[in-house]
Amino acid sequence: MKICMILEGSYPYVQGGVSSWMHQYIQAMPDTEFVLWCIAAEAKDRGKFKYQLPENVVGVKEVFLDDALRLLWRKKNSRQIQLSAEEKTEISKFFCGENFQWDVLFDIFQNKKINPVELLMSPTFLQLLIQICREKYPYISFAEYFHTMRSMLLPELYLLTTEIPKADLYHATATGYSGLLGSMGKWKNKKPFILTEHGIYTREREEELLGASWVLPYFKDQWIQLFYAFSQCAYSHADRVTALFSNASKTQAEIGCDTDKLTVIENGVHFERFSEITAKKENGFIDIGAVVRIAKIKDIKTMIYAFAEVKNAVSNARLFILGGVDDEEYFEECKSLISQLAIKDISFTGAVNVLEYMPGFDFTILTSISEGQPLSVLESFAAGRPCVTTDVGCCRELIMGKEEDTLGIAGLCVPPMHRELLASSIIQMCREKQNRLHMGEVGRERVRMYYTHENSMEKYRELYREVLSWQE
């Protein structure tokens, strides 16, 4: 069996998060061949993998979005684009953010081999935009609208021209560009398509766009509608759609996924690797771990502000931030903030082996603005370390337990970006040793019962067997 895993902005270019999950996933299925279809932003990252690929990865196809811009710059002459009335109608709906038939677009770029630049520079495109602009944006400069639409549409149209790897099954890890390619793989090769969402991609992009300064306010709805169109494409083409927890599955249904396709498959960790870690040896310090990439979405700044308050109350507290740097500018801002606040005892370790550091921690913290079902929390629990988390994604469910789980609480949960409550919760965890140890044991048992890597992988294997059997 050959699986085409479709990945966007993650494995194998970035460490942690979905990338860690993906690497472990492939290793857990040594009898299955994998082809990686990787979407990344910049061609300068070609071949710069942060992981040594397992032997059962038999191919890697890299697609870079900035190649679309180079295609635009190189294009000199355009041939006349011939489109049917149906094709023009569907393209117009696509441009307007209305529901349309994705298969028509797939056919235009895969079978007719129409170059996206030729389309975007054609009289047909110009006429469609003039009509849309008159109807929807009568008081906006047409030139502004034209260039916005062209820059917005070029990357996805470019992706539709890419060669599709051959596989027995396509498996995408988001509804965005990867969901688009997974849908096209199913359409082209008539093979099953599975979609796994670690977070709700559409909602995450919507939040980013609403707060983005680079998007003009009157075009934000247009951008948001585009990502909802991607989710509509992926949900409609997928044979099965998985989420990490039940609330995420409900959100998928709200966005438009057929509930008959939905299923929950939780994350899992290698329980045996962490479960034998004993309680931390006394060293006169309260040592706190944060296993996070250095990125804005992890909200390291709120963590730093909160720790400044913690140090005033618990002088022997120390914070270790374990993870690689995704955003160098943000990292410099974090270091500058530490200097401005004159905070001692914060250490950035870079990307390290968490197993080597976990025995030295009393507990861990996670301050993300957005999460799915974080592996770092599960690993902390498996090691008997409770966690203070923000109330995002599945974190509250991990802390409190599912409805049928009567084990108790395994940490503390606070609103995102609320440094006062974050600080007071960390201080509480520092001061209440016996309660902290009890929470750690609850977390360890919760992972053993519900979140092991073996159980998670078996559910995915069964899912593969199920959808492949439909073709027999």
Same CATH fold assignment for domains 1-64+163-268+452-472 and 271-451: yes
pLDDT at 237 over 80: yes
Measured distance CA(52)–CA(426) in Å, rounded? 37
Measured distance CA(446)–CA(402) in Å, rounded? 10
Superfamily of 1-64+163-268+452-472 according to CATH: Glycogen Phosphorylase B; (3.40.50.2000)
pLDDT at 57 over 90: yes
* pLDDT-derived band at 77, boundaries 50, 70, 90: low
In the prediction, which pLDDT does 52 show?
95
Report the pLDDT averaged over residues 144-151. 86
In the prediction, which pLDDT does 73 show?
58
* Tokens (6 digits) for 135: 């109807």
* pLDDT-derived band at 410, boundaries 50, 70, 90: very high
Measured distance CA(233)–CA(156) in Å, rounded? 12
How would CATH label the architecture of 271-451? 3-Layer(aba) Sandwich (3.40)
Measured distance CA(453)–CA(23) in Å, rounded? 12
Report the pLDDT averaged over residues 25-50. 95
Average pLDDT, the chain: 92
Lowest model confidence (mean pLDDT) among 67-76, 132-141, 443-452: 67-76
In the prediction, which pLDDT does 212 show?
82
pLDDT at 96 over 90: no
In single-letter form, the type of residue at position 37 comes to W
**Do residues 286 and 430 lie in contact, with contact meaning Cβ atoms separated by under 8 Å?**
yes
Percent of the chain with pLDDT over 90: 71
Q: Would you list the DSSP string of 290-321?
A: EE--BSGGGTHHHHHHHHHHHHHH-TTEEEEE
In the prediction, which pLDDT does 163 show?
94
Contact partners, residue 311, CB within 8 Å, separation at least 6: 317, 343, 344, 345
Higher pLDDT, residue 72 or 327: 327
pLDDT at 453 over 80: yes
In the prediction, which pLDDT does 347 show?
96
* pLDDT-derived band at 472, boundaries 50, 70, 90: low
In the prediction, which pLDDT does 93 show?
84
* Tokens (6 digits) for 318: 């120390």
Measured distance CA(176)–CA(166) in Å, rounded? 21
Higher pLDDT, residue 74 or 84: 84
In the prediction, which pLDDT does 114 show?
87
Report the pLDDT averaged over residues 356-370. 96
**371 class by beta-carbon count within 10 Å (0-12 exposed, 13-18 middle, 19+ buried):** buried
pLDDT at 458 over 90: yes
* pLDDT-derived band at 72, boundaries 50, 70, 90: low
* Tokens (6 digits) for 437: 């140890």
In the prediction, which pLDDT does 88 show?
85
Lowest model confidence (mean pLDDT) among 108-117, 176-185, 334-343, 457-466: 108-117
The helix/strand/coil state of 327 is coil
**Do residues 238 and 193 lie in contact, with contact meaning Cβ atoms separated by under 8 Å?**
yes
**470 class by beta-carbon count within 10 Å (0-12 exposed, 13-18 middle, 19+ buried):** exposed
pLDDT at 465 over 60: yes
Higher pLDDT, residue 359 or 125: 359
* pLDDT-derived band at 133, boundaries 50, 70, 90: confident
Per-domain boundaries in the chain: 1-64+163-268+452-472, 80-158, 271-451
Per-residue pLDDT tens digits for 269-314: 999 999 999 999 999 999 999 999 999 999 999 999 999 999 999 9
Per-residue pLDDT tens digits for 306-335: 999 999 999 999 999 999 998 999 999 999
